[in-house]
Amino acid sequence: PAAAGTCPVSVQAMAFDPFGDGYQQDPPEYLRWAREQEPTFFSPQLGYWVVTRFDAIKAIFRDNITFSPSIALEKITPTGPEANAVLASYGYAMNRTLVNEDEPAHMPRRRVLMEPFTPEALKAHEPMVRELTRQYVDRFINDGRADLVDQLLWEVPLTVALHFLGVPEEDMDALRRYSIAHTVNTWGRPKPEEQVAVAHAVGNFWQLAGQILAKMRLDPSGPGWMKYGIRQQVLHPEVVTDSYLHSMMMAGIVAAHETTANATANAMKLLLQHPRAWQDICEDPSLIPNAVEECLRHNGSVAAWRRLATTDVVIDGIAIPAGSKLLIVTSSANHDERHFADADLFDIRRDNASEHLTFGYGAHQCMGKNLARMEMQIFLEEFTRRLPHMRLAQQTFSYVPNTSFRGPEHLWVEWDAALNPERNTP
Ligand code: HEM
């Protein structure tokens, strides 16, 4: 808090840069000072109010009228005229999906699209996730070394996501490129010269989403959430709109796969950095579900989310005017001592680990959370069983600079293939 007549923005708030290495490497550590001294502050570099404590963030999630999610997918860095012209040339018109839809439109749409996320519906995907994981592990298990991101964690969640959506397996490499471009376009700070390349990728992604949707409309029968959406459109045309379907086809591919790929990479890294915890889950796989929650709490794949204040509000004693944009740093909330005892400690037996805010909270809470959990649990079950002797290779971790989607670009692990347990149990 500033004395009268002094600049109201503190030195730390002035320096806050979510695109720099400090935030990229460890967002909650980077914001420790804020949680302790200035839990809600204005960032002049970003033009956002940054909220860092658990209680404030949960209260914001709980009230989606005062705190509108409408800006959740807005470009955090406005692009220049050249990139905008490129996007326009592709007819780019990403609009409201669910995550950025206001009431009263949001809830009826969420309700009519919920069924494919029920536990019974999700069960149907489990054998495929396990089978795919096994096939991918087979490819490198005798190598003694792998980049888990490139060799499994990107493609398996992408394949699962496409199956879940009902999309035929498309060009995986193109989708990976497009998804990263979408992340940079939405949550990053591309330099002017990068903006044009990003805009072309995002434009192509938008058109591909439109083509996939058009093909799907020819025969929307059978399993898949997007096909289900097309069928629900017939019954509820004003709830499930054309604009929704096209936007969701693109956003859904990212929501369902990039989040989960990153979450698993973060989880594997964290577990291997804590060999005792890794050994514990190898010896007792019943610990895996809570270990997954603790990984999502300690180092989740969504580091921050956004809301727009629709009226004047007070957060942590700070008056914030209507129309303000908020960056709510969920990864910081997850390390708030006021809610999680010894919050920085990684404890796979923590009893309130699942209270993390990595999936958001309230009306918009992640619909795919149980699909993501299931995938993460299966990955850990397969890795602990088949590669319990795996360890982290020496490496430096890099991240795609952005406020929200977070996971290492590569994750090198190594093991002695001669000691693979399956050599002894044919
Ligand atoms: C919403 C995170 C996986 C589909 C969200 C939100 C977050 C999030 C932070 C916004 C919550 C809010 O505003 O309160 C994650 C993380 C994942 C993950 C960390 C993986 C570890 C998935 C998967 C799907 C999915 C696999 C499957 C399609 C959705 C949908 C919404 C959503 C449809 C919008 C819900 C609404 O606004 O009503 N997710 N997600 N997510 N997520 Fe996920």
User: Is ligand 1 within 6 A of the CB of residue 368?
Assistant: yes
The closest residue, in CA terms, to atom 36 on ligand 1 is: 364
The closest residue, in CA terms, to atom 13 on ligand 1 is: 364
β-strands 325-328, 48-51: how paired? Answer: parallel
Helices (H), 31-118: 32-37, 54-62, 81-89, 106-112
For ligand 1, pick from 159, 187, 359, 375 the residue to mutate: most ligand atoms within 8 Å of CB.
359
Burial 97-107 (b: 16+ CB within 10 A, else e): bbbbbeeeebe
Can you read off the two tokens belonging to residue 210? 């439109």
Which one, of 298, 389, 380, 392, lies nearest residue 347 by Cα?
298
Going by the DSSP 8-state scheme, the letter that residue 301 receives in this structure is S
**Alpha-carbon gap, residue 82 to 256, rounded angstroms:** 30
Can you read off the two tokens belonging to residue 251? 């956003």
- Amino acid 422: pLDDT: 86
> How far does residue 140's CA lie from ligand 1's centre (Å)?
31
For ligand 1, pick from 63, 111, 366, 376 the residue to mutate: most ligand atoms within 8 Å of CB.
366
Which amino acid, one-letter code, is at 60? I
- Amino acid 237: pLDDT: 97
> How far does residue 390's CA lie from ligand 1's centre (Å)?
30
- Amino acid 2: pLDDT: 46
User: Is ligand 1 within 6 A of the CB of residue 300?
Assistant: yes
CA 31 vs CA 18, 177, 279, 316: distances in Å: 10, 30, 31, 16
Which one, of 140, 136, 152, lies nearest residue 257 by Cα?
152
- Amino acid 226: pLDDT: 96
Which one, of 159, 138, 144, lies nearest residue 417 by Cα?
144
> How far does residue 416's CA lie from ligand 1's centre (Å)?
37
- Amino acid 208: pLDDT: 93
Which one, of 106, 384, 93, lies nearest residue 251 by Cα?
93
Residues 6+ apart with CB under 8 A from 410: 147, 149, 150, 395, 397, 398
**Alpha-carbon gap, residue 167 to 212, rounded angstroms:** 7
- Amino acid 7: pLDDT: 63
**Per-residue confidence of the chain (426 residues) as pLDDT tens digits?**
445 555 678 999 999 999 999 999 999 999 999 999 999 999 999 999 999 999 999 999 999 999 999 999 999 999 999 999 999 999 999 999 999 999 999 999 999 999 999 999 999 999 999 999 999 999 999 999 999 999 999 999 999 999 999 998 877 788 888 988 999 999 999 988 899 999 999 999 999 999 999 999 999 999 999 999 999 999 999 999 999 999 999 999 888 899 999 999 999 999 999 999 999 999 999 999 999 999 999 999 999 999 999 999 999 999 999 999 999 999 999 999 999 999 999 999 999 999 999 999 999 999 999 999 999 999 999 999 999 999 999 999 999 999 999 999 999 999 999 999 987 655
Q: Would you say the ipTM is above 0.85? A: yes
Which amino acid, one-letter code, is at 42? F
**Alpha-carbon gap, residue 308 to 75, rounded angstroms:** 14
Q: Which atom of ligand 1 is nearest to the CA of 263?
A: 21
User: Is ligand 1 within 6 A of the CB of residue 107?
Assistant: no
User: Is ligand 1 within 6 A of the CB of residue 160?
Assistant: no
Q: Residue 146 pairs with which residues in a beta bridge?
A: 413
**Alpha-carbon gap, residue 268 to 415, rounded angstroms:** 14
